[in-house]
Amino acid sequence: MVYDSLLLLAIFMIAGFAALSLTHGEAIPSGTLWFRAYLLGVAALFFCGFWLRGGQTLGLRAWRLRVESADGQALTPRQALARFLAAFLALVPAGLGLVWLLFDAEHRAWHDRMSGTRVVYLPKGD
């Protein structure tokens, strides 16, 4: 998560600079609804794009992990979006939905359960 957060932060900075063209260089006030929605869309494109294209973000690739459907297939666009949105529910109660994977028999977090996905370890060389 840390690796992907750092990369996403850099992408947010670029997206923020691009958004300044819409305001003619004026600062975007904090809490602006359209800007929040814009950044949420950027984040969704980031994660869903990587998950649909090989099942790995750069952070997952570094740790030799991959997201796949519960049946071992590649994610569908619906699953990727459901996983992204459900991740917010997993984070809201102090990250309990992520910690859940430590107690789950299949080591699946809440957002994996809700979207029908799982994270698998890849052997060296893949």
Answer yes or no: is 50 within a domain: yes
Domains contained in the chain, number: 1
Report pLDDT digits (tens) over 23-45.
999 999 999 999 999 999 999 99
- The stretches of the chain forming alpha helices (DSSP H) are 2-20, 33-52, 58-62, 77-91, 96-99, 110-115
- The answer to whether 52 touches 74, Cβ cutoff 8 Å, is yes
Q: Please state whether 118 falls in left (phi above 0), alpha (psi between -120 and 50) or beta.
A: beta
Report pLDDT digits (tens) over 55-113.
999 999 999 999 999 999 999 999 999 999 999 999 999 999 999 999 999 999 999 99
Answer yes or no: is 64 within a domain: yes
- The answer to whether 84 touches 48, Cβ cutoff 8 Å, is yes
Answer yes or no: is 126 within a domain: no
- Entry pTM: 0.92
Answer yes or no: is 67 within a domain: yes
Q: What distance in Å separates the CA atoms of residue 54 and residue 68, rounded to the nearest whole number?
A: 9
Residue of 14, 12, 18 whose CA lies nearest to 36: 12
Q: Which domain covers residue 100, as residue numbers?
A: 2-121
Answer yes or no: is 15 within a domain: yes
